[in-house]
Amino acid sequence: MITHGNEIKLFSGNSNRALAESIAKKLNTELGNIEVATFSDGEINVHIAETVRGRDLFIIQSTCSPVNDNLMELLIMIDAAKRASAGRITAVIPYFGYARQDRKARSRDPITAKLVANLITSAGADRVLTMDLHADQIQGFFDIPVDNLLGGPTLCNYFANEEKIDVVVAPDLGSVKRARKVAEKFGVPIAIIDKRRPKANVMEVMNIIGDVNGKRCLMLDDMIDTAGTICQGAQALKDAGAVEIYAGCTHAVLSGPAIERLEKSVINKLVMLDTIDLPQEKMLGKFKILSVADIFAAAIENVYLDKPMSKLYD
């Protein structure tokens, strides 16, 4: 039977060290001493510079851009901890990359989310702690426990306290369930943006289901990548008579033309969580960043103390 030592150990890769430091501060501890560097040819080199034998390890690393480098850092850190006889290893992945490739949309497509799950498990992780997976069924791709924390309540609390919302808008059909839950908390109706996606990262609005005329609208999604969906959706709401448009997301991927699109968009405010570290040069005046350090710190403490996680989902 796997047991853990009497000391918690937190380590961080290079993807989001600011969040890792905030989590450590919430837990009244410091990040462990680990060197994560590269050889001259680009290969990743990891060295854990303190003892971890029998300890309960939490390795904090989002697999965001550069996705492959950050993923390899995570895998190598897990392997190093396993070979150093760590007691339990929890991969804390605030943003889980490759999650959009969760099924075969066409023949001969890969299911990369399953491949990444296999790699993390094979590297030696005993548990995964993440937030707002793009598809809930990815939890079943792992043969180890997965805790999929919710970022929605943090966003909802912010908007409930800071803005007046008349309608919650689902930016696509896949977001209807999330939008309905939020609308019930706010006591407002929902609207749905009907769209089609002719190819990856290209979206066309077909219709808006629901009344948004003269309303203050809130669009929520799990991630914003190139921002095509959220910006075109916001413009469609504006064209339909919406007076103010707010947006929120858990994962600020913001790749390619995202910043330019958001700057020119009719969105009044975009609120995002810090699962991905947003460089200062990408910050716009309409952006607001909320921290998930409290949630992850509480989850890490529960895992370490073998306490139930259910309260974090209430």
List, by residue number, the catalytic residues.
Answer: 195
Q: Please tell me what DSSP assigns to residue 130.
A: E
> What is the dihedral angle through the alpha carbons of 19, 201, 136, 311, rounded to the nearest 10 degrees?
40
Between CA 309 and CA 69, with CA 248 as vertex, the angle to 5 degrees is 70
- Indicate the pairing of strand 287-290 with strand 190-199: unpaired
Show the tokens assigned to 294.
């409290």
Strand blocks (E) in the chain: 8-12, 34-38, 44-48, 56-60, 88-93, 127-131, 146-149, 167-170, 190-199, 202-209, 216-224, 244-252, 269-273, 287-290
Give the containing element (helix H, strand E) for 210: none
Query: CA-CA distance, 121 to 118, in Å (whole number)?
Result: 5
> Which of 126, 220, 215, 211 has its CA nearest to residue 174?
220
Query: CA-CA distance, 185 to 243, in Å (whole number)?
Result: 22
Query: CA-CA distance, 218 to 167, in Å (whole number)?
Result: 6
Please check whether residue 55 is in contact with residue 86, taking contact to mean a CB–CB distance below 8 angstroms.
yes
Give the relative orientation of helices 176-186 and 152-162 as an angle to the nearest 10 degrees: 40
Query: CA-CA distance, 77 to 13, in Å (whole number)?
Result: 8
> What is the dihedral angle through the alpha carbons of 161, 165, 171, 173, rounded to the nearest 10 degrees?
100
